[in-house]
Amino acid sequence: MDFRDKKVLVIGLARSGVAAAKVLAEHGARVWAADSKAKDELDLSALAGTTVEVLAGSYPDVRALQPDFLVLSPGVPHSIPPIQAAKELGIPLWSEIELAYRLTEARIAAITGTNGKTTTTALLGQILQDAGIGSVVAGNIGKAMTQETANIAPGDIIVAEVSSFQMECIHQFRARVAVILNLTPDHLDRHGTFANYAAAKARVLENQQAGDWAVLNYDDRAVREMGALTRGRPLYFSQKEDLVEGLCLKGDWLVIRDRGHEVRVIDRREIFIRGAHNLENTMAAAGAAWALGIRPEQIASTLKNFRGVAHRQEYVAEIGGVRYINDSKGTNPEASIKALQAFDEPIVLIAGGKNKGCDFSEFMSVARTKAKELVLVGMAAAEMEEAARRQGIERINRASGFAEAVEMAAGLASPGDVVLLSPACTSWDMFKSFEERGELFKELVRKRLRDKA
């Protein structure tokens, strides 16, 4: 698409908004980039020397600017005045991934779902890299998609982690391979209902064509039923069912059954990353790789060596017989339940942050049997404590700040225990991102390790 002389308003100047503004300016568009934050609160270094006009501290009058379209950063609420004005005027709203799609001829493998997106995206990216396939990993993991469009050749592959927020404003975005991992209630403060949330996720399938693939979790009924929504070919995966077609277990072997042929991929005991949730992620990545033409032995080679991703059940250190695990990516109860279930050792759990409209009842039901102590912090601490007490949990500790929470958890742990940061909440009450929260956790733990040396 030719963007020369197009007038574009970019709303939100975090990573994806800055990337979109910069790329549009490079393609000859007249770009206004707006954010409610003041300039000194934003990292605008990437826009230095460009023609982008930055409007910081408030939002512009869309009626006065009359842009051809708006590009929205994922975290921007649709209730703000410029977006409402654009809707009234019939001005198109694009997500940053829609812009990226218009800028590239590369194939896109898009991974979405409630939990496991980052691990699955990183794993598929590693499989392609190890197999020598031209590819980049982008989206909610790593760099913005628009930033990577200049770094990839036509016909190569962009492996993209995509969110429900990003899918809200797509128009032509097409995933040659779409992966939907699972669906549990999340982001209900934005979407309102689970049905709306699921519908946003399902949009990853809506522009698929014959010859495309939809890799879907057969064990999740809501995801399984989405197979009817794609014009591509559904490829199901299941840990529970003996599928006639798709990926499943035959004894301990992960097998792919495709058009009457069965192919062994790997003995599950050889997969490096552990846990039922990671087997789900592994099946999804293997299915996507198969759809992209990667041979089983190449897939297996990566599965034997892939170590996982930062902030997802990441080992940090062992101090005095206590292991410290960073699961800051656990931003909803379902993700944190999976983290709790991955360990057999007694757990001192650090949880809390900003709730996204989730119910903590099931999370605390699992914590009652898995966690010997709770350390709660952040805006949701009181709500979590109430849910914990309803489940009969008594060993509850409240911290006034994050550093105090880590110190408190360390003091409650004994040799053989695990101190697990798995908040079941977003980080936005105290941090800019879950990454920032996880990095501080690692820094505090490593400081303890140095002090003990």
Task: Write down the pLDDT at residue 310.
Answer: 83
Domains of the chain from N-terminus onward: 7-91 (3.40.50.720), 98-303 (3.40.1190.10), 314-452 (3.90.190.20)
Is the per-residue pLDDT at 453 higher than 80? no
For 230, the token pair is 């794609």
- Region 120-141: mean pLDDT is 95
Task: Write down the pLDDT at residue 141.
Answer: 85
d(CA 57, CA 13) in angstroms, rounded, equals 11
Task: Write down the pLDDT at residue 315.
Answer: 87
As beta bridge partners, residue 262 has 257
Task: Write down the pLDDT at residue 100.
Answer: 97
Task: Write down the pLDDT at residue 198.
Answer: 93
Is the per-residue pLDDT at 451 higher than 80? yes
Band of pLDDT at residue 325, cut at 50, 70 and 90: very high
Task: Write down the pLDDT at residue 72.
Answer: 96
Is the per-residue pLDDT at 106 higher than 90? yes
SS3 string, the chain, reads CCCCCCEEEEECCCHHHHHHHHHHHHCCCEEEEEECCCHHHCCCHHHCCCCCEEEECECCCHHHHCCCEEEECCCCCCCCHHHHHHHHHCCCEEEHHHHHHHHCCCEEEEEECCCCHHHHHHHHHHHHHHCCCCEEEEECCCECHHHHHHHCCCCCEEEEECCHHHHCCCCCCCCCEEEECCCCCCCHHHHCCHHHHHHHHHHHHCCCCCCCEEEEECCCHHHHHHHHHCCCEEEEECCCCCCCCEEEEECCEEEEEECCEEEEEEEHHHCCCCCHHHHHHHHHHHHHHHHCCCCHHHHHHHHCCCCCCCCCCEEEEEECCEEEEECCCCCCHHHHHHHHHCCCCCEEEEECCECCCCCCHHHHHHHHHHEEEEEECCCCHHHHHHHHHHCCCCCEEECCCHHHHHHHHHHHCCCCCEEEECCCCECCCCCCCHHHHHHHHHHHHHHHHHHHC
- Region 408-428: mean pLDDT is 97
Q: Which residue has the higher pLDDT, 342 or 71?
A: 71
CB 324 within 8 A of CB 347: no
Task: Write down the pLDDT at residue 273.
Answer: 85
Task: Write down the pLDDT at residue 356.
Answer: 87
Task: Write down the pLDDT at residue 184.
Answer: 86
Task: Write down the pLDDT at residue 191.
Answer: 76
SS3 string, 376-431, reads ECCCCHHHHHHHHHHCCCCCEEECCCHHHHHHHHHHHCCCCCEEEECCCCECCCCC
Q: Which of 175-189, 234-248, 337-351 has the lowest mean pLDDT?
A: 175-189
Task: Write down the pLDDT at residue 359.
Answer: 95
Task: Write down the pLDDT at residue 115.
Answer: 87
CB 138 within 8 A of CB 156: no
Query: Dihedral of the CA atoms 193, 197, 200, 206 (nearest 10)?
Result: -100
Is the per-residue pLDDT at 344 higher than 90? no
CB 373 within 8 A of CB 395: yes
Task: Write down the pLDDT at residue 276.
Answer: 83
- Region 364-390: mean pLDDT is 98
Q: Which residue has the higher pLDDT, 126 or 194?
A: 126
- Region 178-188: mean pLDDT is 87
pLDDT in tens, 245-304: 999 999 999 999 999 999 999 999 999 887 788 899 999 999 999 999 999 999 999 999
What does the chain come to in residues? 453
Task: Write down the pLDDT at residue 347.
Answer: 98
Is the per-residue pLDDT at 17 higher than 80? yes
